[in-house]
Chain A
Amino acid sequence: MKNILTSTIAIVAVLVAFTSCNNSGKSNNSGALSSNNAEKVYVAPGEHDSHYAFISGGYSGNLTVYGLPSGRMFKEIPVFSQFPTNGYGYSEETKPMLETSYGFVPWDDSHHPDISQTKGELDGRWIFINGNNTPRIARISLTTFETEEIIEVPNSAGNHSSSFITENTEYVVAGTRFSVPVPQKDMSIKDYKGNFKGALSFISVDPEHGHMDIKFQVLMPGFNYDLSHPGRGKSHGWFFFTTYNTEEANTLLEVNASQNDKDFIAAINWKKIEEYVNNGGGTMMPANYAHNVYDEATHTATSTMKKEVRVVNPSEVPGAVYLLPTPKSPHGCDVDPSGEYIVGNGKLSANLTVHSFTKMLDAIENKKFAGDAYGIPILNFEDVLAGSVEQPGLGPLHTEFDGKGNAYTTFFISSEVVKWKLGTWEVIDRKPTYYSVGHLTIPGGNSAKPFGKYMFAMNKITKDRYLPTGPEMEHSAQLYDISGDKMELLLDFPTHGEPHYAAAIPAEIIKNNSKKIYRLAENEHPRKATNDAEVKIVRDGKNVHVYMTMIRSHFSPDNIEGVKVGDKVFFHVTNLEQDFDVPHGFAMIGANNAELLIGPGQTRTLTWEPKQVGVWPFYCTDFCSALHQEMQGYVRVSPASSNIELSWSLGDD
């Protein structure tokens, strides 16, 4: 107990030291400079930003889309959480997206978005993001900006070292943060050490459709797997994961997991394991995990439970896995654009450690091992070390690269971004952030080709940067111009949820592929009504299916009779518009499952269980035209015993 106290005091003391240091730097950017900065972020009305930024919503479970350099938020894309704005996770078509082996999970914690790549460069087809709490990986289309697929990850817990992808989007990885019993069983937590396992999942991505499938899981020792990055260029074929708690402690981890001077970066030769697996290696293990796929043609998601997964014991594939000692509880694990340098951000270390891929191969070749952990060879720290950045700041977390030989690292405790040079390891510049920065992003920074004009830092604490909004505030991002030698702070902008990590890309790569409507002619929803002749109401026992259409400014039908108390009414509503950005809403009084928002050409279903006799209105919730207020209708609800036949109408005749 005394130890904790002293270490806390020490950290506070250091904090104070760094804070005062930051204050002196703060006065630099004001006056003439800031008016110049205003021009750099000004995007005139009607003009477009040059970059898209996809910022994780963290504990919102979603992904938000921003423009750079303006910092304007364009959209929130629902991924792992129900989303009232468009009914994702509420409408019958989208509910299956949130199914898991634990049942329906309506809220999760999303962390690391990553854009698909071809030959190491961003191709703008999809963006992947991980659900942390109930381990899942999602794939989002960058033509519709909708979540198209979610795969659950079995044998995992705290899906944190995800969702990073290899240089041709061969795999997206899902590394477990918490090791757990595999398979799960009732056992004493005290017996953690040596018994728990950390599953690192390699999820293959179909090159054409993007469909995901867990190809194999490597069952690693029971450490915590924190972050990961793929090798690229010369190190393509490898994947690197930081670990902490190599002590394998199971209680009071803030102390007990910080005892070892060095933890590891696990280097996985996935090509080798892939080959092993393709030759029948590994074992199929019973499992239960959901695979949810949204079909753009039927506008409907389906959820299937998968029943087994292939697991690989690393000691069975010699030469596939090595451990690189890295000080001290490394968090980030970042690979430079050339693939040579692997930066281990030891969050409790004074120096920043950089490993060399070439040296690693060399040490492996010469079998220079310091020992092993559960049969996995450990390399010598000195043999793999490329260099270290001396005393760059406090609490290094994450590093990105500008493609010009520079690296940018965030320091959480000292709240700053430090720019340093690869190879010489010298610090070039440092800029304070406000406050407690986590990740940072350079467009393309996680690829072989970064677009090094902008960098933005994502901060955990916002206080005093904006007008106060009570004790809880949105987090904040800060945009820097990194085109010169020195970084220049251009803009603060609030973000939604926790801006955990982000991926950014030049707008040109995406914007011309963005879909404007869903073509009615391609709508394959089984209960669509693509013109007024297809409108109908069908009773099936107590279920009543209403096949309804909507167009500016009416519903067809707008009068419905013959519904009874105790019925379950399914409104299958098709939006007949074929005009960019003209959705309509559908709201039914007393519906317990929210409302709908239906894009042009789309079909959505709302379930309504009328509980009272009466005549009940429905209406359009999206102000769609001059006659939006008139876009309404009624459903007559009769007693359960009534024998009024179903009927419906539009107009008087």
Chain B
Amino acid sequence: MKKASIIMIIGSLLLLGLFKFPLWNIMLGAPQYPDPLGMNIYINGIQGVSEFDLQNIDGLNHYIGMKTIPKPDEMWEFSVFPKVILAMVILGVTIGSLGVFKKISYKFFLGWFILMSILGVLGMYDFNSWLIDYGSNLDPHAIIKVTNPDGTPMSYKPPLFGFQKLLNFDVTSLPHTGGYLMFVGMSLTLVAFWLGRKASLKKI
């Protein structure tokens, strides 16, 4: 149980990586951008992969009437997400520490994981709805208006995950270092749960 608790602590601490590394990354490549433009999505804001990428993405997007990429103070998510992550880290470490002193059942590890998963799904849902709004809520005065074959206006929503072609751009959207650290951390809490369960079963 001690081992399981330590893994629980490590797992939740890995979430701290989100304060340093981006959660997600979206790259936009095109023939005239052999060095693709890119944005890194952090829990507290969006940054360009290279210094002027955001400015250049905004410059391109204005042709099709997309809003500019939000600054940290333009979205509530960027102030709430860091607090939620920090709270989950503290909670996870607390649960793990209590586990070390056998003050708490291994089942709490699973509880933490489920809570984190729900929050994660909510976060992804929120992120996706922002992408939908960003890619389809276009300025009616947009310079270029492209429609789908059925006549509906084209959406420029980047993919939530994976690759998609948007006009002349190849868009790739994948988790980044912070995201991977979070997934590993969450998996570790599952491992902690599993080890804790094995240890308690043995005792019986």
Chain A residues within CB distance 8 Å of chain B: 517, 551-552, 577-580, 625-627
Contacts and interface: CB of A to CB of B under 8 A. Distances in A.
Interface of B: 35, 51-52, 55-56, 59, 63, 143-144
B151 to A, nearest CB: 23
A56 B20 CA distance: 51
A579 B52 CA distance: 7
Given A626-B144, A627-B143, A578 B63 contact: no
* Chain A interface helix/strand/loop/mixed: loop
Contacts of A517: 52
Overall SS of chain B's interface: mixed
Given A578-B55, A578-B56, A579-B56, 16 more contacts: A517-B52, A551-B59, A552-B59, A577-B59, A578-B51, A578-B52, A579-B52, A579-B55, A579-B59, A580-B35, A625-B63, A626-B63, A626-B143, A626-B144, A627-B63, A627-B143
Contacts of B55: 578-579
A628 to B, nearest CB: 12
Nearest to A551: B59
B104 to A, nearest CB: 53
A552 B56 CA distance: 10
Contacts, number: 19
Closest 4 CB pairs of A and B: A578-B52, A579-B56, A578-B55, A552-B59
A577 B58 CA distance: 12
Contacts of A627: 63, 143
Contacts of A626: 63, 143-144
Contacts of B63: 625-627
A333 to B, nearest CB: 45
A622 to B, nearest CB: 14
Contacts of B144: 626
A180 to B, nearest CB: 52
Contacts of B143: 626-627
A626 B60 CA distance: 10
Contacts of A551: 59
Nearest to A625: B63
A625 B55 CA distance: 16
13 contacts: A552-B59, A577-B59, A578-B52, A579-B52, A579-B55, A579-B56, A579-B59, A580-B35, A625-B63, A626-B63, A626-B143, A626-B144, A627-B143
Contacts of A625: 63
Contacts of A578: 51-52, 55-56
Contacts of B52: 517, 578-579
Nearest to A581: B32
A249 to B, nearest CB: 60
A577 B52 CA distance: 9
A627 B51 CA distance: 25
